[in-house]
Amino acid sequence: MNSLANDRAARLAEIARETRISIVHTIDAPRMGHIGGDFSVTDILVTLFFDVMRYRAEEPGWAGRDRFILSKGHCSAALYSVLARAGYFSPDLLASFMAPLSPLNGHPNRRKVAGVEANTGPLGHGLPIAVGAAVAATISKSDYRTYVVLGDGELQEGSNWEAAMFAGHRRLEGLTAVVDRNRLQQGARTEDTNGLDPLDEKWRAFGWEAIVLDGHDHAALLDAFEAPRIGKPRVLIANTRKGKGVSFIEDRVEWHHKVPSREQVALALEELAG
Ligand SMILES: Cc1ncc(C[n+]2csc(CCOP(=O)(O)OP(=O)(O)O)c2C)c(N)n1
Ligand SMILES: [Mg+2]
């Protein structure tokens, strides 16, 4: 890695650490949330929002913005933490997460929160919407790119594979999907439920370029997002650990939506203190 790449990765690692701290506080306020999936997707979101993507937080509807869709919408605390830091709204608002009348619902709502491109939560819809956005870019001859982050358990929804097939057929070069491959879904391991492996080969068979990488390695993520396009939609199979960053939360099925006790919040913050 050259020194510029090193600097970029180190900056992102620090932002990711601070984002995980923000997620702990955000979930601690209502004592609800999905900390495992928030932590597995943090490095992916941070790399996209703080290095890769083009947007204007002060003008959320700017036509030239890259489109971003968090299809695994239950991980809203991670998305809101990143959007606040990016300047879409005040970080003070995070304290209202899931409170009655707060715009920060458990699932992101585009009519309530600046920077949210599509309503998600019911799994299986982000990729079809992203494919539509990428087709729209080709029709309008716009050069924006479209990014969508999917859960691996989410891939059991058949709508994903219809959308994948069409994106491959249309050779949607402006589209990048990231699969948060943490190998856990709600209450079980993906491979015990409805196995996905070999996942990269499945996407290739649908006409996609597939890159397998460590989803917590910021330098690898930057390389994969920025690699020259080859006339196909691209998917990053990002191998991650659910709960990444806090030892007692990592890779444990119960932390899909378990909320840390007050003592565990303190312990988590201690581990994340760096
Ligand atoms: C259509 C639909 N079915 C069920 C759910 C309930 N649900 C929320 S999260 C989740 C598990 C998702 O697992 P995965 O996509 O692997 O997400 P992650 O591991 O990143 O949290 C389920 C079943 C839902 N949100 N939408
Ligand atoms: Mg998962």
Domains of the chain (ranges, CATH numbers): 3-272 (3.40.50.970)
Note the pLDDT of residue 271. Answer: 98
Confidence of residue 229 (pLDDT cuts 50, 70, 90): very high
pLDDT digits (tens, 9 = 90+) for 23-53: 999 999 999 999 999 999 999 999 999 999 9
Task: Count Cβ atoms below 10 Å from residue 4 Cβ, excluding itself.
Answer: 8
Task: Tell me the H-state helices in the chain.
Answer: 3-28, 35-47, 76-86, 126-139, 159-169, 190-193, 199-205, 218-226, 262-272
Q: Tokens at residue 93, please?
A: 């608002």
pLDDT digits over 176-206, tens only? 999 999 999 999 999 999 999 999 999 999 9
Q: Which residues contact 26 (CB under 8 A, 6 or more apart)?
A: 33, 77, 80, 81, 94, 95, 97
Q: State both tokens at 99.
A: 């409170």
Does residue 1 surpass a pLDDT of 80? no
Q: Is the pTM of this model over 0.85?
A: yes
Asked whether residue 2 carries a pLDDT value surpassing 90, the answer given is no
pLDDT at position 274 is: 77
- The binding-site residues of ligand 1, defined as CB within 6 angstroms of any ligand atom, are 34, 36-37, 40, 72, 74, 121-124, 151-154, 180, 182, 184-186, 242, 256
CB atoms within 10 A of CB 266: 11
pLDDT of residue 267: 98
119: Cα within 13 Å, side-chain hemisphere: 7
In contact, 126 and 179? CB cutoff 8 Å: no
Q: Which atom of ligand 1 is nearest to the CA of 150?
A: 15
The arithmetic mean of pLDDT across residues 161-184, rounded, is 98
In this structure, the residue with its CA closest to atom 24 of ligand 1 is 122
Ligand 1 nearest-atom number relative to CA 36: 21
Q: What does the mean pLDDT of the chain come to?
A: 98
